[in-house]
Structure 1
Amino acid sequence: MGDKKREVGFEGTSSRERAITYLEALTASVRDGAVRVERDSKVVELEPGEFVTLEVKAKSKKDRQSLRLQLSWDNDRSKS
Structure 2
Amino acid sequence: ITSCTILTAAAEEPMKELHNRQPVILAPDAYEAWLDPATPVQAAKELLKDDLDGKLEFYRVSRAVNATKGAGDRAEMIEPVE
TM-score relative to the length of structure 1: 0.23
Normalized per residue, the structure richer in strand is 1
Query: Which of 1 and 2 has greater Rg?
Result: 2
TM-score (structure 2 length as normaliser): 0.23
Greater RCO (CA < 8 Å, at least 6 residues apart): 1
